Amino acid sequence: MKRLAATLVLTLALTAGGARASQQYEPLADSVRAALHLAISDRAAPDLPAFSSPQKQLWLGTMSERLAKRMPDEAGRMEFLKTVHYEATRAGLDPQLVLGLIQVESGFRKYAVSSAGARGYMQVMPFWVKLIGSEESNLFHLRTNLRFGCTILRHYLDIEKGNLFRALGRYNGSLGKAEYPNMVRGAWERHWSWPAITSASNP
């Protein structure tokens, strides 16, 4: 029954689709592959860091309210937000940027699949599993998907020397085009800003 339900959800996600483009395969130097593999496989403790500080609690409460209509289940929503915060921070990314990207890529649908085959919340292409993951890497698993997505975006930011506009273009497979970076920046600014925003404008 659970398998049937998952299949139905996946079928609906396939028809809904994800973002219109996806990451493009690019050969990686052995040293880069090794570094990215280490970043992916360095598993965190099963329990996420406690949101004990007032600032983190305020962030979690605020983001939960904003996300409630898209994710009605409170327990699942809290787990999602804590995981986004952890994986984004771990990769040196703004968690609000990651929320904006997820909104554009998948509309917060766990089982979203694009026409190109990109999967999950952050629409990660399966070729990344072969490049830097392992056989047990499931791109529909919450933490796996967010870890891959955040690590890949961090990789693109490093390649582009911190240029967010170009890094987002690489992530979406539309390097040099403004539509996708502007969509992510717009979602970030309108729905997830907290409190400062890094410009993703084209220099």
- Sign of the dihedral through C-alpha 27, 173, 115, 125: positive
Distances (CA, A) of 18 to 13, 33, 50, 106, 118: 8, 26, 32, 5, 8
Q: Are 63 and 83 in contact (CB under 8 A)?
A: no
Cα–Cα distance measured from residue 199 to residue 183, given in angstroms and rounded to the nearest whole number:
12
Of the residues 26, 65, 87, 105, only one is catalytic, namely 105
How far is residue 183 from each of residues 102, 178, 200, measured CA to CA in Å?
Answer: 11, 9, 10
Q: What is the chain's length?
A: 203
CB 135 within 8 A of CB 125: no
Strand, coil or helix: 119: strand
Alpha-carbon distance 47 to 75, whole Å?
15
Is 105 among the catalytic positions?
A: yes
Catalytic center residues: 105
